[in-house]
């Protein structure tokens, strides 16, 4: 479809598609190379300093104190966790992404969601482009001629499912004001295990989304 539009001189959609691909690549490098929110040793950690606490801190038992990390020896803010792959404590730690080779934390988590969204649009559009180039015929010559296009469509389909599931799961956790680490390890985290509420940071979907993105 894009090739036919280019031949007719209709360059708007091909240019938008190329710009979206370039944007997804730039976002990938931006998210993978930026500081996800490393806790620096020289920082003074004060109660209520880290993002995501706000007015809900009184709901957490007062006997839970900020602890010193046993690996990098910094005083951890609440919701921070040490990543043994990055060798740093990360504020509002979500997870270490092997595709990015970087942690997803307080600083790059919103941009990570933007990256997934752009990537999903690119994959859906790329799948449509690949499908538009397929003309099915029951012949060996047709299969040999279109084998790479078929493999490309299959890979696009698989990655689309993966990115869609990642995006939906992250948006759900963001709407609850929780992280992947807190969701998976709720029973091991002191400030959640001893809290009166299952999720003391939840302030309602609208406010959770507003505080995360804005």
Residues of the chain with pLDDT > 70, as a percent, come to 86
CB of 62 closer than 8 Å to CB of 148: no
Residue 144 included in any domain: yes
Both tokens of residue 196?
Answer: 């009166």
Rounded to two decimals, what is the model's pTM? 0.82
Place of tokens 């790479």: 148
Would you place residue 65 in the very low, low, confident or very high pLDDT band (cuts 50, 70, 90)? low
Residue 191 included in any domain: yes
CB of 208 closer than 8 Å to CB of 172: no
pLDDT digits (tens, 9 = 90+) for 166-179: 999 999 999 999 99
Q: CA separation (Å) from 21 to 49, 179, 182, 197?
A: 38, 28, 33, 43
- Active-site pick, 69, 97, 103, 176: 97
CA distance linking residue 56 with residue 154, whole number of Å: 46
pLDDT of residue 142: 72
CB of 95 closer than 8 Å to CB of 108: no
Which DSSP symbol is given to 44? P
Q: CA separation (Å) from 212 to 16, 66, 171, 175, 206?
A: 28, 23, 10, 9, 10
Q: Is 14 helix (H, G, I), strand (E, B) or coil?
A: helix
Residue 147 included in any domain: yes
pLDDT digits (tens, 9 = 90+) for 190-211: 888 877 788 899 999 999 999 9
pLDDT mean over 116-134: 89
Residue 133 included in any domain: yes
Residue 48 included in any domain: no
Residue 143 included in any domain: yes
72 is catalytic: no
Cα Dmax for the chain: 73
CB of 208 closer than 8 Å to CB of 177: yes
Count of domains for the chain: 1
> Among 27-41, 43-57, 61-75, 106-120, where is mean pLDDT lowest?
43-57
Residue 55 included in any domain: no
Residue 68 included in any domain: no
Q: Which domain holds residue 184?
A: 1-36+99-213
DSSP string, 137-195: -SSHHHHHHHHHHHHHHHHHHHHHHHHHHHHHHHHHHHHTT--HHHHHSGGG-HHHHT-
């Amino acid at each position: 479809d894009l090739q036919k539009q280019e031949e007719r001189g209709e360059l708007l959609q091909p240019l938008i598609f190329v710009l979206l691909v370039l944007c997804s690549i730039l976002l990938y490098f931006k998210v993978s190379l930026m500081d996800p929110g490393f806790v620096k040793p020289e920082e003074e950690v004060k109660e209520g300093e880290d993002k995501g606490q706000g007015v809900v801190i009184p709901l957490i038992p007062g006997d839970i104190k900020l602890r010193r990390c046993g690996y990098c020896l910094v005083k951890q803010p609440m919701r921070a966790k040490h990543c043994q792959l990055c060798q740093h404590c990360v504020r509002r730690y979500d997870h270490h992404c092997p595709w990015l080779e970087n942690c997803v934390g307080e600083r790059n988590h919103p941009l990570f969601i933007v990256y997934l969204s752009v990537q999903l649009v690119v994959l859906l559009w790329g799948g449509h482009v690949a499908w538009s180039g397929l003309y099915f015929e029951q012949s060996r010559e047709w299969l040999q001629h279109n084998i790479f296009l078929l493999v490309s469509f299959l890979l696009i389909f698989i990655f689309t499912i993966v990115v869609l599931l990642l995006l939906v799961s992250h948006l759900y956790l963001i709407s609850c004001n929780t992280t992947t680490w807190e969701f998976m390890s709720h029973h091991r985290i002191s400030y959640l295990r001893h809290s009166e509420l299952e999720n003391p940071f939840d302030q309602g979907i609208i406010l959770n989304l507003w505080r995360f993105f804005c």
